[in-house]
Amino acid sequence: MKLGIEFVPYVNVQRIVEWAKLAEDVGFDYIWVTDHYNNRNVYVSLTAIALSTDRAMLGPGVTNPYVINPAWTASAVATLNELSNGRAVLGIGPGDRITLTSLNVPMERPLAAVRESVETIRRLWRSEAVDLTGDVFSFKGAKLNFKVGRIPIYVGAQGPRMLELAGKIGDGVLVNASHPDDLRVAVGHISKGTSSIGRNVADVDVAAYTCFSIDVDGRKAKEKASEVVAFIIAGCPIEVLKRHKISEDEANEVKEAVAKGDFTRAFSLVTDDMISSFSISGTPEECLSKLMDLTKAGVTQIVIGSPIGPRKVDAIKLIAQKLIPTLKAQ
């Protein structure tokens, strides 16, 4: 079982680097950094991490093709790969609809946007001149003027069609889910994609990109998780809400509060059932039990996602002491 960790660069880059160094030291294999315009820049953060670490793979988790052109992403990740001595990975998905709306950027034809982006990026990394007239993007002789090795691409996916596409085109899939039921369903869709092109699903790294929060005080851990769960609920597909018996009315209340920036209200609307369905949170014992359930759902990487815990450093150390030895043995 590979282990990843996600950092949101909402604090200064020096703090992010300290957390990343600690994560690598205690045994994490992947370091993912989120890409939102309202936080510190993802590639500046990743560059600083690359210069301060030696082993862990690292990359955006995830960027999107709407705010940043895929050719620019290809150059940025290739440069990161060069700087980190071959440790870069790319996580790319359709993006966060609420963030895109705040930039007045429409999320048009997400399946085509992701498919064309992955195709273009790979071709650029192969030093090809890209001519493409696609459904979303057009290129006329776009080309990188430096050599790039093979870099794994992980597709961020949650809905059925994006998961199936990810199975067709991704080296890995970052599944935005924390519950084994959601991950079993996701693996089924990914397998459908791989089988449609004669590919083995075992060749795809299926990563459970969890909302995670750990503390010796389980209630504090769950309260912290509610801050992230609110955003998950706000962007959650209807079929996933139905799977967990969460009504559209409940979800819409949370979504409206998030859209208005009324985060205090949004967090207060998150129920215990929502926390249970969309996070792994609680004491070390509770978290380990839930993580072990994920290992039986077909995932091959577990990503310890935001918020990690009420206090980041303490949470990472607690994970190292109480969880990693067991998870690494899987």
CATH code, 127: 3.20.20.30
Buried/exposed 58-88: b ≥16 CB within 10 Å, e otherwise? bbbbbbbbbbbebbebbbbbbbbbeebeebb
Give the count of domains, the chain: 2
Confidence of residue 229 (pLDDT cuts 50, 70, 90): very high
173 and 110 assigned to the same domain: no
pLDDT given for residue 113 in this prediction: 98
Residue 298 domain-assigned (yes or no) = yes
191 and 277 assigned to the same domain: yes
97: pLDDT strictly greater than 90: no
43 and 185 assigned to the same domain: no
Confidence of residue 272 (pLDDT cuts 50, 70, 90): very high
Domain boundary among 121, 151, 181: 151
123 and 180 assigned to the same domain: no
126 and 205 assigned to the same domain: no
Residue 323 domain-assigned (yes or no) = no
Q: Are 214 and 282 in contact (CB under 8 A)?
A: yes
Residue 22 domain-assigned (yes or no) = no
190 and 110 assigned to the same domain: no
Q: How far apart are CA 137 and CA 326, in angstroms?
A: 45
259: pLDDT strictly greater than 90: no
Confidence of residue 329 (pLDDT cuts 50, 70, 90): confident
103 and 230 assigned to the same domain: no
pLDDT tens profile 33-51: 999 999 999 999 999 999 9
Residue 19 domain-assigned (yes or no) = no
147 and 172 assigned to the same domain: no
276 and 180 assigned to the same domain: yes
323: pLDDT strictly greater than 90: yes
pTM of this prediction?
Answer: 0.95
pLDDT tens profile 203-219: 999 999 999 999 999 99
User: What dihedral do alpha carbons 239, 240, 243, 249 form, nearest 10°?
Assistant: -80
Residue 157 domain-assigned (yes or no) = no
Which of these ranges, 93-97, 185-189, 201-205, 311-315, has the smallest mean pLDDT?
93-97
182 and 259 assigned to the same domain: yes
Residue 80 domain-assigned (yes or no) = yes
179 and 309 assigned to the same domain: yes
What average pLDDT does the structure give for the chain? 96
Residue 162 domain-assigned (yes or no) = no
Mean pLDDT of 279-290: 97
Domain that holds residue 33: 1-13+27-151
pLDDT given for residue 151 in this prediction: 98
